[in-house]
Structure 1
């Protein structure tokens, strides 16, 4: 992994702005517990990770943290470095488990490289819209997803 890359603090606003500019879905999560950035030798931001409460209620136990978005400029090993840093920070904060999702079409190489394990596959959702609760399609509702997890040692 290139040693000239280093973790830097970023605000949620900075992370969301980076995601809006560079992520293929252009949509950042609403909230977070913390966000981090990855910078090069010129301190140019080349990636961000946003970690927050799990989106699924049954995982929101106070001890589980979800990486809700990572986004990089494509620099080699940048995602793995971000996932590894989130793991170290979450461990220090006392969390016991990290989770995240990828689309079934994504390789998961960055997660495997950072020590995460694919734990299950989630079927594609039909969407959140229903007669009593009108919701807009997010464009990824009908996509099979993979759940990844890492247990944190204390």
Structure 2
């Protein structure tokens, strides 16, 4: 096995997420994406963008909005580490992401990330002033992580 980081376009990352992510669709935009190849075959992607929560969108913080892999070992932790190195090199000071309650976060810990908060479940993103479709994250507790 020969894992290597590679650039990946928004379109290619979105297609990969559609195919391999367990419960979410691709985000609608991003700042950049990173891929991991195994002998020239794309086996994982990370999509990094502005934070979803408006209170954390301070211009110096990015969020890993999605990662997806085909199950190849160590790819997710490789993506999280590379995402932080790239964001830091671009001048960002924080990189955050969320996991759902049932996810262990082993890949994040392996990449040096730390838990900074537990978030209670919420009824969803939909509000009377801006209706949204349920994206599968309603009523799910989340853990907030930060690269360190």
User: What are the residue-to-residue correspondences of 1:97-136 with 2, within 5 Å?
Assistant: 97-136=94-133
Partner of 1:33: 31
Query: Equivalents in 2 of 1:26, 1:5: separation in Å?
Result: 25
Q: Give unmatched runs, 5+ long, in structure 1.
A: none
Gaps of 5+ in 2: none
Take 2:135 and 2:60, find their aligned partners in 1: how far apart are those partners?
28
Secondary structure of the corresponding residue to residue 38 of structure 1: strand
Q: What TM-score comes out, normalization by structure 1 length?
A: 0.91
Measured after TM superposition, the shift of residue 101 of structure 1 is 0.2
Relative to the length of structure 2, the TM-score reads: 0.95
Which is higher, the Rg of structure 1 or of structure 2?
1
Indicate which of 42, 54, 58 corresponds to 2:55: 58
Q: Is 1:72–2:69 an aligned residue pair?
A: yes
Aligned equivalents of 1:34, 1:145: Cα separation in 2: 24
- Runs of 4+ residues deviating >6 angstroms: none
Deviation at 1:27, TM superposition (A): 0.6
Partner of 2:25, secondary structure, is coil
* Deviation sequence 1:10-29 (CA, Å, 0-9, x none): 10000000000111125101
